[in-house]
Amino acid sequence: MNAVILRECYRMSFARKVIDWQRRHGRNGLPWQATRDPYRIWLSEVMLQQTQVATVIPYYERFLRSYPTVEALAAATEDDVLRLWSGLGYYARGRNLHAAAKQVVAQGSFPRTAEAIEELPGVGRSTAAAIAAFAYGERAAILDGNVKRVLARCFALGDDEKLWETATALLPRKNIEAYTQGMMDLGATVCTREPRCDACPVRTMCVARQRNHIARFPAKRKKKAMRQKSATWLVLRHNGQVLLQKRPANGIWGGLWCFPEATGAVKGKRLAPIEHGFTHFKLRIHPVLRELRQKTGEGLWMDVADATGAAVPAPVRRLLARL
């Protein structure tokens, strides 16, 4: 048996094990499964970037109730989109989602290949491949963090280029949807930081397991010390209303409504600080409450109850709950 046939047999065996396992033990019955609608699939894949399935489900269902089609999403205001996104984090995803919906409507239809889908704002190579696989059955390789962990361990790989080559080489010729979902499910539920190797369908093929090197893969990057930042928020209140300002599109909480940020010493009642963590730093917020006799300052005055339901980040909502 020559090397080409051996590689083909290995690919078929790997894919078959993953597909069979997914059908029996994988995550099935999720709200975005059992559909070929590229809009619904795209929406779920964007929401699932760096966010767990259990967190995404209620947001996904709420989005579809408000925007059942890409046309409805494109016609919405950015404020309304970010209001629904509020609490899901990584707000650039919400802004990109809105911009991409407008692009799709302008084009006349949703793109039909992974290469074309990747041209949409906020869609990378792996996300585009997942959408193309689930919506159109395209044989396109994904390599999100979960899949990267599975392949890095199974083939003792640390180089991203080699991982992409391997992910592509392993693609089955049919049942791409079950295979793609299976790879995601393996990384999310079995091949985790503390892997359950006894439940893994490809454990007999896993090089890292054979060599007892599971902890080495994927290669760990040096962790940078978590930076600490601080900010002072000025909470201006007048007759049950508060002043909020829209943050610039670039930077943290871009496009969301926040309390004005103060520089230097400010007078007022100091409220308990709020801690909020981001990917690369922690933010300690020092709110200062000031009661005003008349409205002043640039921004939008809103009733506290209305502000709570607006497009505000989680720390603003937490602070509003105290007022």
pLDDT of residue 219: 81
Q: Report the CATH fold assignment for 3-216.
A: Endonuclease III; domain 1 (1.10.340)
Superfamily of domain 227-322 in the CATH hierarchy: Nucleoside Triphosphate Pyrophosphohydrolase (3.90.79.10)
pLDDT of residue 222: 73
pLDDT of residue 4: 52
Give dist(CA 319, CA 143) in Å, integer.
38
pLDDT of residue 1: 40
Neighbours of 221 (CB within 10 A): 6
Pinpoint the residues of the chain covered by CATH 1.10.340.30. Answer: 3-216
- The answer to whether residues 269 and 226 touch, using CB atoms and an 8 Å cutoff, is no
* Cα separations in angstroms, 123 against 56, 69, 74, 194: 17, 18, 17, 29
Catalytic residue annotation = 45
Angle at 77 (CA atoms; ends 75, 82), nearest 5 degrees: 125
pLDDT tens digits for the chain (323 residues)?
445 555 666 778 999 999 999 999 999 999 999 899 999 999 999 999 999 999 999 999 999 999 999 999 999 999 999 999 988 988 999 999 999 999 999 999 999 999 999 999 999 999 999 999 999 999 999 999 999 999 999 999 988 999 999 999 999 999 999 999 999 999 999 999 999 999 999 999 999 999 999 999 988 777 777 899 999 999 999 999 999 999 998 888 999 999 999 988 888 999 999 999 888 899 999 999 999 999 988 999 999 999 999 999 999 999 999 88
- The answer to whether residues 262 and 234 touch, using CB atoms and an 8 Å cutoff, is yes
pLDDT of residue 305: 92
Tokens of 190: 């079995």
DSSP 190-214: ISSSS--GGG-TTGGG-HHHHTT-G
Pinpoint the residues of the chain covered by CATH 3.90.79.10. Answer: 227-322
Neighbours of 132 (CB within 10 A): 26
DSSP-derived 3-state class of residue 145: helix
pLDDT of residue 5: 55
